[in-house]
Amino acid sequence: MGIEVFVQQLINGLTLGSIYGLIAIGYTMVFGIIGMVNFAHGDVFMLSAFIALIGFLVLTTILGIGSVALALFIAMLVGMVLTSLWGWSLERLAYRPLRGSFRLAPLISAIGVSIFLSNFVQLAQGARNKPTPPMMQEVIPLFERNGYLVALSYKQLIIMLVTATLLTGFWYVVKKTSLGRAQRACEQDRKMAALVGIDVDRTIALTFVLGAALAAVAGTMYLLYYGVVNFADGFIPGVKAFTAAVLGGIGSLPGAVLGGLIIGLVETMWSAVFPIEYKDVASFCILAIVLTFMPSGILGRPEVEKV
């Protein structure tokens, strides 16, 4: 692989990794606070891509908004609101009643929700790929070597910028605001959190809302990047984002982002060298290897705490 291909794949990998990272945060946050893998999260991401698509088409064709960026931005906001609502109801209806039940119960419920969501979208939208009209085709040429043009597309730039901005804001919320402190308190000791006056149920619901909102951004970015979405798109990106969360150390927010970037890079680098059909195999081998040899991930904490 020449340097030009490497740099191009680096750009592609970081873009893809940003999307995975945004989804991975939803997995890791929910796991951190209630110790459950929300397997429906990938489908929430898929749902949000559909909402963004529908929103975008309504805004551009029916309401006649000329600016693609503006239409996409509004569609993303709408998507964030709707998926947040969905995340909130999901927690309320499918998970909260099972809290205090045996450990596997919410997990099974999550798988049920996931099947429900993908089938619902299949029924409502059809099984075929849904494309967007071509948008933002411009690229910024970086350099040319051996007749190969290395370029950063507007789409990629937007995806990376949006992700970086959002993560900064998100980091601030978690570290510096009382909502973030309440979340961390519930994650570390739910019983004590209630003793200092924190509404634990509300905090858990807000965690689902935040995770769903980030997934909505990821869904919009995914749509922008690939220009197409399908009812089954919740599964593979969802499991990859889950892999990213595990690789980074489940429960760790920086870990989720780091894991996302690594998975994105592995995937694109693999595709540059090996047959592209096997790129998913590469990602999932990472999942197996991490779970076997370092289950607490790169930035995860070991289970034992000094008490």
Give the interface with other proteins as residue ranges (CB under 8 A): 178, 181-182, 184-185, 188-189, 191-200, 301, 305-307
**Is the CB of 145 or the CB of 202 nearer to other proteins?**
202
**Is the CB of 128 or the CB of 301 nearer to other proteins?**
301
Residue 299 Cβ vs other proteins, minimum distance, rounded to whole Å: 13
Residue 304 Cβ vs other proteins, minimum distance, rounded to whole Å: 11
Residue 245 Cβ vs other proteins, minimum distance, rounded to whole Å: 18
**Is the CB of 194 or the CB of 232 nearer to other proteins?**
194
Distance, CA of 223 to CA of 214 (rounded, Å): 14
Please, are residues 256 and 25 in contact by the beta-carbon 8 Å criterion? yes
**Is the CB of 4 or the CB of 99 nearer to other proteins?**
99
Q: Around Cβ 59, how many Cβ atoms within 10 Å? A: 20
Residue 175 Cβ vs other proteins, minimum distance, rounded to whole Å: 9
Residue 246 Cβ vs other proteins, minimum distance, rounded to whole Å: 20
**Is the CB of 61 or the CB of 188 nearer to other proteins?**
188
Question: What does residue 139 show for φ and ψ, rounded to 5 degrees?
Answer: -130, 155
**Is the CB of 129 or the CB of 178 nearer to other proteins?**
178
Distance, CA of 19 to CA of 137 (rounded, Å): 19
Distance, CA of 284 to CA of 274 (rounded, Å): 15
**Is the CB of 156 or the CB of 183 nearer to other proteins?**
183
Residue 28 Cβ vs other proteins, minimum distance, rounded to whole Å: 15
Residue 193 Cβ vs other proteins, minimum distance, rounded to whole Å: 8
Residue 290 Cβ vs other proteins, minimum distance, rounded to whole Å: 22
Distance, CA of 132 to CA of 49 (rounded, Å): 11
**Is the CB of 64 or the CB of 100 nearer to other proteins?**
100
**CA-CA-CA-CA torsion sign (125, 131, 135, 139):** positive
